[in-house]
Amino acid sequence: MSTMIPERSLTEQFPRLAQNGGLDVRELERLRARARRFAHEHMRPRALQIDRRTGEDPSSFDWDLVRAGAEAGMLGLLIPKPAGGAGGMSTQVAVVMEELCAACPGIALIFGAHALGISPLLLGGPSQWDGVLAELVASEYDSEPQLMACAITEPEAGTDVEDPDLLRHARITSHARRVPGGFRLSGTKRFISNGSVARWITLLMPTDPRRPAESWTCFLLDTRSEGFAVSRVEHKMGQRACPAAELTFDEVFVPAERIVSREGDGAAATTIVLACSRPPVAAIATGIARGAYERVLGWLQEDPAARGLAERQHVQLALAGMEEEIHLARQLYMDAATELDHTALGGVMSHPGVRALGHVPAGIRSRAPVRGWLASERARDATIALLHRSTSERAVTRSLALSSMAKARGGDVAMRVTGAALELVGLRAGPIRAELEKLWRDAKLTQIYEGTNQLNRLEVYRGLCHAETMNCLPPLRRVHPDPAAQAHTNGDGNAHLQPDPPQRANVDGNGGRS
């Protein structure tokens, strides 16, 4: 029996044909050129030395490189402009990560893990602009840049904490206990990139261990808090320059105002964050493959030991296959990133109220009445209402599927291309051989982090093959005014927030949207 394949529009087949939301391609080219200069001047010359040093001592960390990266603008890419950052999105981060990873994926991961740590804060809306995000930007100007990390994985729960359905049955051992004024966090998080060097960590734990999916909550943790400890830094096979740490929490207190978004919204937040972060991870893999390919080309052109090899047809076919794999992997991550930024989530930051708040000076936003409203439960509920009005669960599900496809394909491409590069050069390549071996070791992680490739392909099945719509937006629990209430400033400099008329939603008995 034949099966009818649903017809797809051109914009479904080629997401970049959709309205791009005003993406400035020339500005993107300038950003890429800046990342390439930083990678050429600071990263590649030190990559092997740092890899050897961290292989011997995983706790070793090169803060000078982080300072150089801050000066090059590599730390503030995702931070919104009202907080002092570049205001970039997944597309900008992906383009930068490809450039950096062509030089050294381990060093690049420091900046990628930092962006991942920031990502959940963006879902908190304007309430996050003048807190830690502004502090991160200020730290760059003090020549003592602060780093972020995101902690999800646990000793008994890895990939399964990244899928809402699997989370219901995951072996979660961490938990957050409600106490007066906030929560006490207990448990262990493992394999946390930047975990041992981060100043702030966004981490996810359940507030009810019996119902992890329903109570999964994102907290913003100050790593100077009592009870927090780095219990181990892992010996890694690849991407060694960025430490992966085991973190322990012994009744660590987190004030209620440092819940990101709302209690219980963590599963939906994780889904959106992964949709945003998987295109850059695909770009990491693409950059690794490109770095191997470029090193082979350089070796063929410059090393006397390779004289005549480029004239052999089997070498030409191998090089053409690498070029093909890299090109297609790049198309996938760019499709996923641009659709996410300018279709699925593009309406959020372009909302007139959000833009109006962005024009209000930080000094006014930080005044007690405005700050209090932005941090209130009403504002948090209204931020979720804006998210529902600006996108749909189907749009985010589709973006997650495209991002997952790009990530899975990119990881496989990185392994194939680095392996093919090593086969081509054999044992004759001298110093280039060491760089290629390192890239091959670095490539393996791209098939594992941000969810294994198997899970990513299940997301592709659910979102594209099966056309499923996942519950990937936080529920509309209450109805309050628009979060991005139009901000107006009168003559005395006071901001007056004038909300849009409230929107109504049907809510079932479990607090879910019906």
Q: What's at 94, amino acid-wise?
A: A
Nearest to 279 by CA among 342, 225, 361, 227: 342
Range scoring the smallest mean pLDDT among 22-26, 324-328, 406-410: 22-26
Q: How many Å separate Cα 436 from the centre of its chain?
A: 26
490: pLDDT strictly greater than 60 = no
CA angle at 54 for the pair 50 and 60, rounded to the nearest 5°: 95
Considering the domain architecture, whether residues 195 and 215 belong to the same structural domain is answered as yes
CA-CA distances (angstroms) from residue 378 to 127, 240, 246, 381? 12, 44, 36, 5
Considering the domain architecture, whether residues 129 and 196 belong to the same structural domain is answered as no
Give the phi and the psi of residue 417 in degrees, each rounded to 5: -70, -45
Average pLDDT along the chain: 87
Residue 262: CATH number of its domain: 2.40.110.10
467: pLDDT strictly greater than 70 = yes
Q: Which two tokens stand for residue 418?
A: 């680095």
The boundaries of the domain holding residue 195 are 151-266
- Percent of the chain scored above 70 by pLDDT? 88
**Count of domains for the chain:** 3
Residue 431's pLDDT band (cuts 50, 70, 90): confident
Residues 6+ apart with CB under 8 A from 88: 31, 77, 78
Considering the domain architecture, whether residues 348 and 458 belong to the same structural domain is answered as yes
504: pLDDT strictly greater than 50 = no
Which pLDDT value is given to residue 62? 96
Which pLDDT value is given to residue 441? 98
pLDDT tens-place string over residues 278-333: 999 999 999 999 999 999 999 999 888 888 999 999 999 999 999 999 999 999 99
Which pLDDT value is given to residue 305? 85
Q: Is the torsion defined by CA of 321, 325, 331, 335 positive or negative?
A: positive
512: pLDDT strictly greater than 50 = no
Quick check: helix, strand or coil at residue 487?
A: strand
Residue 163's pLDDT band (cuts 50, 70, 90): confident
Nearest to 63 by CA among 189, 151, 190, 194: 194
Q: Which two tokens stand for residue 6?
A: 């649903």
- Asked whether residue 5 is domain-assigned, the answer is no
- Asked whether residue 39 is domain-assigned, the answer is yes
The pairing of beta strand 200-206 with beta strand 148-151: parallel
Considering the domain architecture, whether residues 139 and 175 belong to the same structural domain is answered as no
Residues 6+ apart with CB under 8 A from 347: 389, 390, 391
**Which of 98, 118, 147 is the last residue in one of the domains?**
147
- Asked whether residue 143 is domain-assigned, the answer is yes
User: When comparing pLDDT for 127 and 422, which is higher?
Assistant: 422
Mean pLDDT value of segment 254-272: 92
How far is 199 from 201, CA to CA, in rounded Å? 7
Residue 455: CATH number of its domain: 1.20.140.10
- E strand segments, 95-193: 148-151, 175-179, 182-193
- Asked whether residue 508 is domain-assigned, the answer is no
Which pLDDT value is given to residue 498? 38
pLDDT tens-place string over residues 124-162: 878 888 889 999 999 988 889 999 999 999 999 888 888
Considering the domain architecture, whether residues 119 and 210 belong to the same structural domain is answered as no
Q: Which two tokens stand for residue 179?
A: 């106490």
Nearest to 246 by CA among 201, 195, 200: 195
Range scoring the smallest mean pLDDT among 225-239, 267-281, 495-509: 495-509
Instruction: Decide: 275 and 398 in contact? Cβ < 8 Å.
Output: no
Q: Which two tokens stand for residue 263?
A: 């209690």
Considering the domain architecture, whether residues 252 and 122 belong to the same structural domain is answered as no
Mean pLDDT value of segment 429-440: 91
Which pLDDT value is given to residue 368? 79
Range scoring the smallest mean pLDDT among 225-229, 234-238, 496-500: 496-500
Residue 8's pLDDT band (cuts 50, 70, 90): low
For tokens 């206990």, what's the residue?
177
Mean pLDDT value of segment 199-227: 95
Buried b / exposed e along 259-277 (16+ C-beta atoms within 10 A) = bbbbbbbbbbbbbbbbbbb
CA-CA distances (angstroms) from residue 511 to 29, 143, 471, 474? 45, 46, 13, 10
**Which of 266, 284, 307 is the last residue in one of the domains?**
266
Q: Which two tokens stand for residue 316?
A: 């030409």
Q: Which two tokens stand for residue 105?
A: 């994926």
Which pLDDT value is given to residue 25? 80
Which pLDDT value is given to residue 164? 83
How far is 248 from 501, CA to CA, in rounded Å? 45
Mean pLDDT value of segment 469-493: 57
User: When comparing pLDDT for 514 and 178, which is higher?
Assistant: 178
Mean pLDDT value of segment 57-66: 96
Mean pLDDT value of segment 430-442: 94
- Asked whether residue 124 is domain-assigned, the answer is yes
- Asked whether residue 2 is domain-assigned, the answer is no
Which pLDDT value is given to residue 495? 37
**Which of 147, 170, 192 is the last residue in one of the domains?**
147
User: When comparing pLDDT for 431 and 89, which is higher?
Assistant: 89
CA-CA distances (angstroms) from residue 462 to 76, 188, 331, 338, 512? 34, 31, 21, 21, 21
505: pLDDT strictly greater than 50 = no
Considering the domain architecture, whether residues 260 and 123 belong to the same structural domain is answered as no
Which pLDDT value is given to residue 480? 42
Considering the domain architecture, whether residues 304 and 445 belong to the same structural domain is answered as yes
Considering the domain architecture, whether residues 302 and 247 belong to the same structural domain is answered as no
Which pLDDT value is given to residue 409? 98
How far is 442 from 444, CA to CA, in rounded Å? 6
* Alpha helices, DSSP H, located in 132-178: 132-141, 164-167
User: When comparing pLDDT for 201 and 348, which is higher?
Assistant: 201
Mean pLDDT value of segment 29-53: 95
500: pLDDT strictly greater than 60 = no
Considering the domain architecture, whether residues 242 and 213 belong to the same structural domain is answered as yes
Residue 50: CATH number of its domain: 1.10.540.10
Considering the domain architecture, whether residues 313 and 203 belong to the same structural domain is answered as no
Q: What's at 213, amino acid-wise?
A: A
Q: Which two tokens stand for residue 181?
A: 């004024």
- Asked whether residue 399 is domain-assigned, the answer is yes
65: pLDDT strictly greater than 90 = yes
Beta bridge partners of 228: 249
Quick check: helix, strand or coil at residue 378?
A: helix
- Asked whether residue 54 is domain-assigned, the answer is yes
User: When comparing pLDDT for 313 and 482, which is higher?
Assistant: 313
Mean pLDDT value of segment 198-205: 97
User: When comparing pLDDT for 474 and 429, which is higher?
Assistant: 474
Residue 10's pLDDT band (cuts 50, 70, 90): low
Considering the domain architecture, whether residues 281 and 260 belong to the same structural domain is answered as no
Which pLDDT value is given to residue 485? 40
